Structure 1
Amino acid sequence: MRKKLAIIVVVLVLITLSVLGYRNYFNGPADPTTYSGTIEGTAMPVQPELGGRIINLPVREGQVIKVGDVVAKLDDSQAKISLDSAKSQQTQAQAKLNDLLGGARAEEIQRLEYVVTQAKANLAALEPNLKFEEDNLATNQKLYEGGAISKQVVDAQQTKLDTLKAQYQSVQASVDVAQAGVDQAHAGNTQPAIQAQKAAVDITAQSVKTAELNLSKLVIKSPVGGQVLYQHVEQGQVVNSGTTLVTILDPNELWIKIYIPEAKLNQVKVGVTAYIVVDSYPGKTFKGQILYVSDQAEFTPKNVQTKEERTTTVYAVKLSITEGKDQLKAGMPADVTLLQ
């Protein structure tokens, strides 16, 4: 009886194992799938906003720099001249505004009144001469009518009188201008004149800020910390705005791109953790995270797969490396494991 019971148990175990094996055969193993790729880094080009001649280039390829380190300095002699000129114009504009706000000084009023007095004196000095020449013209006209003198003598006298009248009118105008200046000085400066000068001061202040900003832009600083990957220019070279001076590799932005066949896209989901291994650290695993999955199919790049596999339609998947950034380097071949 015991022997029969043992046989029955063995048979049941064999049946159970057969069923499990059957399921595994058709459902497939729960093994992970591995894809190959190359670790890459985010390269940042450093470019000036303004052009000029490089007078200092303190960085070299391979050098590790921090955020804000000086990458290059451009010639700033012209920018300094522009700044000095803008500051001078600002000072002059402010001084004029101060004069307008303070009103005319007593000395200025006295000077203007003296100008009026002199102009009136000049005008008074011309009046007898003007009267004398007018009388001469009247006498000459009577003599001409009596046939005593020629028409040319009369015309010459007329011209002399016209010239003196023009001089008299000019002096009269200067008297009017000088008097208007005295009246304005006593009345004070008008608000429109003061507001206009305030606007002029504001404009010169903006010019100073612009000149200071342009001067600061001639010192080019690194926007990121990292390693200088390439040096594209040399000291003494003249560069334009937007010219790449150096390229910096950001060690904190390491990533890897793999290519997955369409049939296995169900293994991929943004935000899922993946596992990365490299030959430089055998037996060690680093973590990564899927950033995005391309929505467009493409053929596998020629430098990644074999000739047969290059005809396969795949989707690019980018992963950020979240672990081991102090050990992993751009350019390392790597294997990425995605769990099913």
Structure 2
Amino acid sequence: MKKTIGLLTLILLLTACEKKDEFDASGNFEADEVIVSAQQNGELTSYTIQEGQQLKAGVKVGQLDVRSVELQKEQVEASIAILKEKTVNPSDQSELVRRQLAVQKSQLTQQLRERTRTENLVKADAATRKQLDDINAAIDQLKKQIAVTQQQLTLNTYNTNTQNKNILSEKSPLEKNAEQIQEQINKGQIINPIMGTVLVNYALQGEMQVIGKPLYKIANTSTLDLRAYITGAQLSQIKLNQQVKIRIDKGEKDYKEYRGTIIWISSKSEFSPKTIQTKDERANLVYAIKVRVKNDSYLKIGMYGEVLFN
């Protein structure tokens, strides 16, 4: 009887161990890794990146030498300044003509008063008709001169504005050129794109860099995704946003558990990767899933993990 009880106890323990070792899917943890590259050619004059360093998005972590590009911008800005000096103020250009016009109008006013006075004298037989005709002729002549002067003033203003417009038409392309050069200067700054941890550093201060050359690799490891694989028969057991249990090895015989959320289920099957174990090892085709897990700093990219749906 005692032997029977002992045998039953051993069977139960073995069964419990077998159940504990069971899992529905397994895979490795991953994160979206960003490789930050140089966007300009030049010497890396300052650089503060270290592997394992925590960085915020938008912080400046380095500077490339862009002095030659800055000189190009200064040259363009000097050309823009010269254009302003070439322009002419229409008022200054036509000042002489306006003064001439003012004199002519003053003379016309004087002749009009003289004509009135002469008309009265003619009526009183104190002046001849010829004197009145001479004044009328002078008035007519002044009116024609004033008309010509006004046309000249208008023409001078038009010509000056046209000249200035032609000069200033060169300004817009130069300003656009300056903006493009400024963009190149801005690209000399190494700006960290995302919040995360520096995984790998490829560069050192003082090295020459070229456009596209990797500087460092960074990833946000505050949450990691466990990429696991399931069989087609298991698809009916899961859905998006489903809460599942994740466990990783803790020592030789124990596990550390986490709560995770299924954020992606592949719509296409694929051949089972050799490095991935599934519940049904006889299946040739599997479906990939991603389970998002909040990281307590213990999880690492590439670490093996197991998924339990229930």
Same-fold call, TM cutoff 0.5: yes
Matched, 1:39 2:11: no
2:58 corresponding residue in structure 1: 68
State the alpha-carbon separation in 2 of the partners of residues 259 and 310 from structure 1.
Answer: 13
Q: State, as a whole percentage, how many aligned pairs show the same letter.
A: 25
Instruction: Choose from 253, 258, 261 the match for 1:289.
Output: 261
Instruction: Choose from 248, 260, 264 the match for 2:230.
Output: 260
Q: Is the 8 A contact 1:288 1:320 kept in 2?
A: yes
- Higher share in helix: 1
Larger radius of gyration: 1
Matched, 1:330 2:301: yes
Instruction: Choose from 50, 53, 61 the match for 2:43.
Output: 53
Pick closer, same or farther for the CA change 1:42–1:280 going to 2, 3 Å.
Answer: farther
Pick closer, same or farther for the CA change 1:104–1:237 going to 2, 3 Å.
Answer: same
State the alpha-carbon separation in 2 of the partners of residues 310 and 325 from structure 1.
Answer: 35
State the alpha-carbon separation in 1 of the partners of residues 277 and 232 from structure 2.
Answer: 16
Count residues with an aligned counterpart.
Answer: 231
Residues 27-49 of structure 1: per-residue CA shift (max 9 Å, x gap): xxxxx953222221221111232
Residues 238-297 of structure 1: per-residue CA shift (max 9 Å, x gap): 332222111012123511111101111111212222221223596754222222222222
State the alpha-carbon separation in 2 of the partners of residues 103 and 197 from structure 1.
Answer: 17
1:312 corresponding residue in structure 2: 284
Q: Structure 1 stretches of 5 or more lacking a match?
A: 1-31, 108-182
State the alpha-carbon separation in 1 of the partners of residues 214 and 91 from structure 2.
Answer: 54
1:1-340 matched pairs, under 5 angstroms: 33-97=23-87, 99-101=88-90, 103-104=92-93, 187-188=156-157, 189-280=159-250, 285-305=257-277, 309=281, 312-321=284-293, 323-339=294-310
State the alpha-carbon separation in 1 of the partners of residues 181 and 82 from structure 2.
Answer: 17
What letter corresponds to residue 257 of structure 1 in structure 2? R
Residues 167-217 of structure 1: per-residue CA shift (max 9 Å, x gap): xxxxxxxxxxxxxxxx99x92444332222232222222222222221111
TM-score normalized by the length of structure 1: 0.59
The 3-state SS of whatever aligns with 1:245 is strand
Pick closer, same or farther for the CA change 1:190–1:237 going to 2, 3 Å.
Answer: same
- Residue 328 of structure 1 and its aligned partner are, at CA, apart by 3.1
Q: Structure 2 stretches of 5 or more lacking a match?
A: 1-21, 97-151
Pick closer, same or farther for the CA change 1:324–1:53 going to 2, 3 Å.
Answer: closer
TM-score normalized by the length of structure 2: 0.65
- Residue 311 of structure 1 and its aligned partner are, at CA, apart by 6.3
Pick closer, same or farther for the CA change 1:41–1:89 going to 2, 3 Å.
Answer: same
Pick closer, same or farther for the CA change 1:207–1:94 going to 2, 3 Å.
Answer: farther
